[in-house]
Structure 1
Amino acid sequence: MTATGTVLVLSLLGAPPASSSDPLCANREPCRVVETLEGGKDAQGRALQVKRLDLGWADVETWSQSAGRRFGPGGRKAQGSRAEGQCEAAEWWLLRPSQPAQLLLAVCNDGYGAAGVGEDSVTVVDNYFTHEQSGGSRERWSHARTLQLSPLRLTSENRRSSDALASEGGESGESWDYQTLRGDVVVAAPTCKPGESSPGERTLPYLPQVKVEPAYLQGGWKQAGLGECGFSSGHFLLGNQDDPKDASLKALLVAPDTLLVEVRDDKWTGPSAKWLNDDHVELWLAPQAPQELTGCGKPTDAQKPSQWGIRIADGQVFPAFGSPKQPLQVERAELPGKQGYVLKLKLPTPFKGISVVYSDSDSGKKQELMLATSLVKFGRPETLNPVRVVPPEEATCAVKNGQLSVVQGSPLKSEPDVAVLRNP
């Protein structure tokens, strides 16, 4: 797969755009097609193309009032200057057989910040269009989005910002993949008071909340696993895993107060007199979003998380850190073929931070392996997972071949002259 694309910077636009005979430039002087990129093929095997138009200079104030739409036939000049309140205008259009040309993106680069270093970078690969915009002054930022061309869908988004004068650990932002329902929040290292310990830069994976079919929520969860919708534990809090079949953990919020947890293991232990030595799930909930906490010093009483233990063998609940008084309702079902268990937990609300841990004890004498959905530290709310609520129009989850699968929302619709990707 070969990537093609362009970066718009002032030095590339020194010459005024000449008029073009391309239909996209009809009655739109100044206008020039400066690049035609091959976009692969649609589902029917028909070729796709993306054309970039150079439209000269536009008035920033006029542009801001109609941002996201096709530049009009007037109000632009072949030459201009940012010092005079003008910006460099460009458009990218998708050409598809038997359909009108579709505006993908319209930008007007005024430097995107006091430093005047802003850029627009576009890359086109087989059926995908990626736009990255960057700018700022001391506070530098970037925003990248990838669009599937056929059918039109936003597939990923990434935002980052950083202090140009900061040392390491000064980046923050978030990313999200709309196809896999995965993403994270990056929190810059905070400046703590003297005597307070700093957590440093943190990367917090989102735990998604996704709508599922009513039948699955009512009873289907007892027969079908979480599949690709389940968020797999990616962190080891204790021990290591030589054999991936030894143990696994998946979690998925299916409602604001309902969590499904899938645990698989090759050997089960418990129940015993000490639940910590039995195979069990640990649930952490916190009242504030972890990305909004600095993590400096000790958490306040209003920030402290609560912890519960749920034994796999019988589903019994044990209040743990914080001695939570709220009830935790648990339903438990064995997966077909005795491959593991699914727990349906009715959670106390509200909460904004959550993490799920599986503690595996093959010997039944101590905790030997701990898998978690985040790098949770005992009693530290800033280390939990933030929740990402997935709107149904973006995606839902439904059973396919005995497992939950991601169901993408309807393709994006836009008038031909209205950009599919609006300005950040």
Structure 2
Amino acid sequence: MNPTGTVLVLSLLGASPALSQDPLCARREPCTVVETLDAGKDAQGRPLQVKHVELGWADVETSDKFLGRKFGPGGRKAEGSRADGQCEAAEWWLVRPSQPAQLLLSVCNNGYGAAGVGEDSVTVSDNRFSHDQHGGSRQRWTVSRTLQLSPLRLVIEGHRSSDSMAEDGKEDGDYWDLEQLRGDVVRAAPECEEGEPSLGERTLPYLPQVQVDKAYLEGGWKQAGLGACGFESGNFLLGNQDDPKDASLKALLVAPDTLLVEVRDDKWTGPSAKWLNDDHVELWLAPKPPQELTGCGKPTAEQLPSQWGIRIADGKVFPAFGSPKQTLQVERAEMPDKKGYRMKLKLPTPFQAISVVYSDSDSGKKQELMLATSLVKFGRPETLNPVRVVPPAEATCSVKNGQLAVVPGPVKKTEPDVAVLRME
């Protein structure tokens, strides 16, 4: 008899599948390792595996104490039903040579909402473990997170929600990549009052606020670029760009009141009698988070943004939209390669929305190209960038090879039987 046939006969006789003898299932019946997935290699070149363990059915009320931890022995059954107040228990474990197995995730699926359509989707790839949890009733939601396995840290998180009864598939959500310090908020087109104009669906990129070295903040920014930490504009408000070397803009908040801006261009114009026709940076600030504004009708007086122009040629500041009375403090330095300028701006606070625009005028007669950190609509605070404050425990930025680079925070120590991913 071939090996496959042997396993089949043993199963029919009532014996547990061979995989249930895995150490992860010791004294934990019912328990079966249903998958062992290749997860690439760790930093030392050692193989990584993820094991998926099914643990039968548990009472919802008693299972709560195990969520985020290894399920204890007993209290579970091989058969059950959500209709009887039970949930399906499962775990995923990281297995590494010469180290104890580490619990990555534990769940007990009770349908995750009145609709009973809840699911847990797991994907394992090279040094990555991704989990999507879906649930809800009429309002459906998804929580997505991705772990780096070596060293163990959260690298991506996101949330999405939608109305299952809506025909247009409108979806709200947010996404954040902790490695790249990039992400955005998506707001579906709202249901505005009849006759009230709407901005429609909005995708609002986060502008990160990141802690940098004290020496960089005090003067190092004049010599070292914003590098991978700088948020690079990718939105054209005016014109288009045939040559990427023509102009570029990066921005980075390095304190609640301090913004660094890096502009490159192949031709500089100004100063002239009309700053709007000179090469300049436009700064927008608003008091409310843009993702919390509906985009219906006109913004109220309390929501209106303020705008300033900063001329590249001399760093002079010009109040613009909203005629702001607060001023900006500007320090300006030419880049060492003579191909651009950096500016350190001291901003009026508080604000919860910001956008930066570079206006390029090669002719010196009109605005010809406008690059921005978001799709700014003139005077509309709902279109600015939300601020994403990055805690130092998550990441900081430090100079490497003449440019700022993302430095991940310290790896958090987790007990082997405590899940790295905790359910909210």
- The question of a shared fold, defined as TM-score above 0.5 by the shorter chain, is answered with yes
Letter in 2 for 1:293: L
**Which range moves more in the overlay, 209-218 or 75-84?**
75-84
Specify the alignment match of 1:185 in structure 2.
Answer: 185
**Separation of aligned partners in 2, 1:266 and 1:208:** 27
Specify the alignment match of 2:207 in structure 1.
Answer: 207
Q: Could you list the runs of 5+ residues in structure 2 that have no partner in the other structure?
A: 1-13
> How much does 1:65 deviate?
2.7
Specify the alignment match of 1:356 in structure 2.
Answer: 356
Specify the alignment match of 1:255 in structure 2.
Answer: 255
- The size of the alignment, in residue pairs, is 410
Contact 2:90/2:107 (8 A) holds in 1: yes
> How much does 1:18 deviate?
5.9
**Separation of aligned partners in 2, 1:125 and 1:102:** 17
**Separation of aligned partners in 2, 1:258 and 1:220:** 14
Specify the alignment match of 1:325 in structure 2.
Answer: 325
Contact 2:163/2:169 (8 A) holds in 1: no
Q: Within the alignment, does 1:281 sit opposite 2:305 as a pair?
A: no
Specify the alignment match of 1:9 in structure 2.
Answer: none
Query: 3-state SS of the aligned residue for 2:21?
Result: coil
Q: Indicate how the Cα distance of structure 1 residues 169 and 376 shifts in structure 2: closer, same or farther if over 3 A, else same.
A: farther
Query: 3-state SS of the aligned residue for 2:64?
Result: helix
Contact 2:309/2:319 (8 A) holds in 1: yes
Letter in 2 for 1:347: L
**Separation of aligned partners in 1, 2:293 and 2:45:** 50
Letter in 2 for 1:114: A
Letter in 2 for 1:225: G
Letter in 1 for 2:23: P
> How much does 1:168 deviate?
2.5
Contact 2:353/2:384 (8 A) holds in 1: yes
Query: 3-state SS of the aligned residue for 2:69?
Result: coil
Letter in 1 for 2:52: R
Q: Within the alignment, does 1:347 sit opposite 2:347 as a pair?
A: yes
Query: 3-state SS of the aligned residue for 1:228?
Result: helix
Query: 3-state SS of the aligned residue for 1:336?
Result: coil
Q: Indicate how the Cα distance of structure 1 residues 169 and 80 shifts in structure 2: closer, same or farther if over 3 A, else same.
A: closer
Specify the alignment match of 2:165 in structure 1.
Answer: 165
> How much does 1:169 deviate?
6.0
Letter in 2 for 1:359: S
CA displacement, residues 166-186 of structure 1 (integer Å, 9 cap, x when unaligned): 233620010000110000001
Specify the alignment match of 1:79 in structure 2.
Answer: 79
What is the TM-score with the length of structure 2 in the denominator? 0.95
> How much does 1:16 deviate?
12
Contact 2:66/2:72 (8 A) holds in 1: no
Q: Within the alignment, does 1:379 sit opposite 2:379 as a pair?
A: yes
Specify the alignment match of 2:116 in structure 1.
Answer: 116
> How much does 1:416 deviate?
0.3
Contact 1:143/1:160 (8 A) holds in 2: yes
- Correspondence 1:45-60 to 2 at 5 A: 45-60=45-60
CA displacement, residues 189-210 of structure 1 (integer Å, 9 cap, x when unaligned): 1111122101111110000000
What is the TM-score with the length of structure 1 in the denominator? 0.95
Q: Within the alignment, does 1:152 sit opposite 2:117 as a pair?
A: no
Query: 3-state SS of the aligned residue for 2:356?
Result: strand
Q: Within the alignment, does 1:137 sit opposite 2:137 as a pair?
A: yes
Letter in 2 for 1:255: A
Specify the alignment match of 2:198 in structure 1.
Answer: 198
State the identity %: 79
Contact 1:155/1:178 (8 A) holds in 2: yes
Q: Could you list the runs of 5+ residues in structure 1 that have no partner in the other structure?
A: 1-14
**Separation of aligned partners in 2, 1:283 and 1:305:** 10
**Separation of aligned partners in 2, 1:289 and 1:169:** 24
Query: 3-state SS of the aligned residue for 1:61?
Result: helix
**Separation of aligned partners in 1, 2:130 and 2:109:** 17
Q: Within the alignment, does 1:245 sit opposite 2:245 as a pair?
A: yes
Q: Indicate how the Cα distance of structure 1 residues 35 and 277 shifts in structure 2: closer, same or farther if over 3 A, else same.
A: same
> How much does 1:412 deviate?
3.1
